[in-house]
Amino acid sequence: MGESLLGQCERLYEKIKSNTKDVKFEDIDKLLINYGGFIKREGKGSHFVYKHPELKGIQDYVTIPRARPVKKVYILKALRLFEQVMNF
């Protein structure tokens, strides 16, 4: 039997949180969009902007460049916003 959606989300979240220096763009993208309900739009060049409809503050978004690995500063901000939305 397959793992529940919540279980998959928690596993990916823990994987990212436990090693914030070595995160693939695809993993943080999946966490924010598929599990967190964030909306992604293209920024400038290879950057993408993630925003959640429930977060209304001027700083409640994160811009993430498509790079491997994604720098820790972007991951930490993305996790902070994800945790706000998911009440982690």
Task: Give DSSP secondary structure letters for 24-83.
Answer: -HHHHHHIIIIIT--EEEE-STTEEEEE-TT--STT-EEEEE--SSBPHHHHHHHHHHHH
- How many domains does the structure of the chain reveal? 1
Q: Is the pTM of this model over 0.85?
A: yes
Q: What pLDDT shows up at residue 1?
A: 46
Residue 2 banded pLDDT, cuts 50, 70, 90: low
Average pLDDT over residues 62-73: 93
For residue 53, pLDDT beyond 90: yes
| Domain with 45 in it | 5-86
